[in-house]
Structure 1
Amino acid sequence: MNYRGRFAPSPTGHLHFGSLVAAVASWLCARHAGGRWLLRMEDIDPPREVPGSAQSILAALPAFGLVADEPVLYQSQRTAAYDAAFEQLRAAGQVFPCWCSRQDLADQGGLHRDGRCVAGPDPDRAPAWRLRSPDLEIRFDDALQGPQTQNLHDAAGDFVIKRVEGFYAYQLACVVDDAWQGVTQVVRGNDLLDSTPRQIWLQRCLGLPTPDYLHLPLALDASGRKLSKSERAHPVDPVDPLPALRNALAFLDLPCPSEAPNAETLLTHALDRFDPTFLPHCSERSAA
């Protein structure tokens, strides 16, 4: 099967360094394998979206030499596909409506493990919908972080796939779209490593293929905090892309020549020396 990789940002701010690292690494993995690199805009959470940030991210990527091989997929246009997956799960009895509040779940460590709603129906408000999580060890071999094992019942419990507001949760949309786009390897930050067992279980429930996974070290700021939009990380500058691109490649242990004239030259130099097995195996590291 031909390699297909992807970069899937959320439009919650401008492109920042941590996202640039994920974009560059996923692009390098795809090009190293002779495969295709795809873009997906995960715009299914309107309350968290920053107006204009989707366009900003997509406009910035080419300045760093990162051009997708196919048109961008917008999750906001994929509701019918998520509806179909949800109905498949409901028909199989694998989901249930839940009116539980955080307080209702406090005695269970904030997790739902009963396979049914503890609070019971509330006619005055809409429910969330949860996927039943069995007492099952989910195992997979991450290409960078090594063998992983998670008991889904203990670690995740019955997790939400459709929110009270009616929006589909990240886990369901991600699984459906990875299959739709034919993604063969997911390259992303280590903050999503814990989500992978839930996605593997959803893939099994829906009869979808499981791609390979490679989780990159998290980029930390000087104070040891994760660089992310939620931490108000400074955006990278597409007008002057070379400094941030050099730093992203150095973060991936791919130092590049200081005299490179443009982003394409830097990426070509990095690709000539790239081997995914030599990416840094730590779970996090400083971006400085």
Structure 2
Amino acid sequence: MAIPPNTEYKGRFAPSPSGLLHFGSLVCAVASYLDAKANHGKWLIRIEDIDTQRCRPELHSVIIDSLASHGLLSDEVILTQSLELDRYENALEQLSKRNLIYACDCSRKQIKSRSPHYDGYCSARNLSFTQGRALRLNNKNTYEHFVDRILGPCYIENSMNIEDIILKRTDHCFAYNLVVVLDDIYQGISHVVRGADLLETTTLQMYLHRIFDAPLLQYAHIPVASTKPGFKLSKQNHAKEIDPKKALNNLVSALIYLGFSHEQLKAFEKIETLLCFAIDQWRINLVAKEREFIISGANDVYSDFISESLAN
């Protein structure tokens, strides 16, 4: 799907410092970067460290440096979520004044005993917002579908669409779906290019945008890199980190994953010229309309995947 003329484009890549960048992370970074630059837009880096229990502060600079080694530099000051807590709290106060959130003291065991997903049990109990209670969204979402720039029309049918999801956990940690929307609004993001593992969150995030009277974004979901069906490359699955010293090879691998041919890329010897070429040639319809690609994790640039799956 082409970007309408005169539309100001601002995209972002938002890594979590719970581990180092892996090949799947790089693919998302490159895709979002190319789409922004090819549409004469800005590309931002955001550090998603809202879950302080899982994130490692010492990796912030390592991730940013790794992206820089691959020629991927933020066009604005990098936002770090752990420094934005007051803004998130203010947003919750706005929702509270509008009676759009409520406190919940249900345990997972209690919820599971009643229903496969949360059933709104606490919505009419008028519990106070005290320590040890989660804050849930009074969910009136009517968004069920959207048009993805890669996958086309997408219909989302899952419990998250209608469930009163948690916006702030019992440990006082703000939930991902809240802060990602607040940050996209705050930074003026217009387009999101990300992995298809987040596809099901899209209509809920659209609803949150509407709650905050913000314009809806355009979304594009790229295939998730997996080593076997349903087993995506991730920090939790101990995916091997990319080596910044092999940045040129890493970029070639990522570009082939995104639909470029090895023949197009084999002559490039510098990152700068490779990225300039990729920006000039980028089209969102290069990306396969798939939810997942199975690749080999034989090494950190996944050469087996290139030679066996895409180079042909």
Q: For 1:139-288, what aligned pairs fall within 5 Å after superposition? A: 139-150=145-156, 155-221=161-227, 225-255=231-261, 256-287=264-295, 288=305
For residues 100-155 of structure 1, give each alpha carbon's deviation from its aligned partner in whole angstroms, at most 9, with x where no partner exists.
11111114544213263599969995101110223634321111122123357675
Q: AA paired with 1:280? A: A
Q: AA paired with 1:80? A: D
Distance in structure 2 (CA, Å) of the matches to 1:249 and 1:213? 20
Q: More deviation in 93-102 or 115-124?
A: 115-124
Q: AA paired with 1:37? A: W
For residues 147-196 of structure 1, give each alpha carbon's deviation from its aligned partner in whole angstroms, at most 9, with x where no partner exists.
12335767551101101111111111111110111111011101111111
Give the SS at the match of 2:144.
Answer: strand
RMSD (Å), alpha carbons? 2.2
Give the SS at the match of 1:126.
Answer: coil
Distance in structure 2 (CA, Å) of the matches to 1:285 and 1:134? 35
Residue 30 (structure 1) aligns with: 36
Q: AA paired with 2:281? A: R
Q: Is the 8 A contact 2:10 2:191 kept in 1?
A: yes
Q: AA paired with 2:294? A: S
Residue 84 (structure 1) aligns with: 90
Distance in structure 2 (CA, Å) of the matches to 1:124 and 1:84? 17
Instruction: Classify 1:113/1:136 alpha carbon distance in 2 versus 1 (closer, same or farther; 3 Å).
Output: farther
Distance in structure 1 (CA, Å) of the matches to 2:58 and 2:152? 38
Q: Is the 8 A contact 2:158 2:200 kept in 1?
A: no
Distance in structure 2 (CA, Å) of the matches to 1:237 and 1:192? 26
Shift in Å at residue 65 of structure 1?
1.1
Give the SS at the match of 1:240.
Answer: helix
For residues 236-274 of structure 1, give each alpha carbon's deviation from its aligned partner in whole angstroms, at most 9, with x where no partner exists.
010121222111111001134223112222212222221
Q: Is the 8 A contact 1:203 1:210 kept in 2?
A: yes
Q: More deviation in 87-96 or 124-133?
A: 124-133
Distance in structure 1 (CA, Å) of the matches to 2:243 and 2:136? 40
- Segments of 5+ residues of structure 1 without an aligned counterpart are none
Q: For 1:68-83, what aligned pairs fall within 5 Å after superposition? A: 68-83=74-89
Identity %: 36
Distance in structure 2 (CA, Å) of the matches to 1:44 and 1:152? 25
Q: Is the 8 A contact 1:115 1:132 kept in 2?
A: no
Distance in structure 1 (CA, Å) of the matches to 2:75 and 2:129? 48
Q: Is the 8 A contact 1:82 1:176 kept in 2?
A: yes
Distance in structure 2 (CA, Å) of the matches to 1:154 and 1:74? 26
Instruction: Classify 1:217/1:92 alpha carbon distance in 2 versus 1 (closer, same or farther; 3 Å).
Output: same
Q: Is the 8 A contact 2:102 2:126 kept in 1?
A: no
Q: AA paired with 2:249? A: P
Distance in structure 2 (CA, Å) of the matches to 1:156 and 1:228? 28
Residue 298 (structure 2) aligns with: none
Q: Is the 8 A contact 1:99 1:117 kept in 2?
A: no
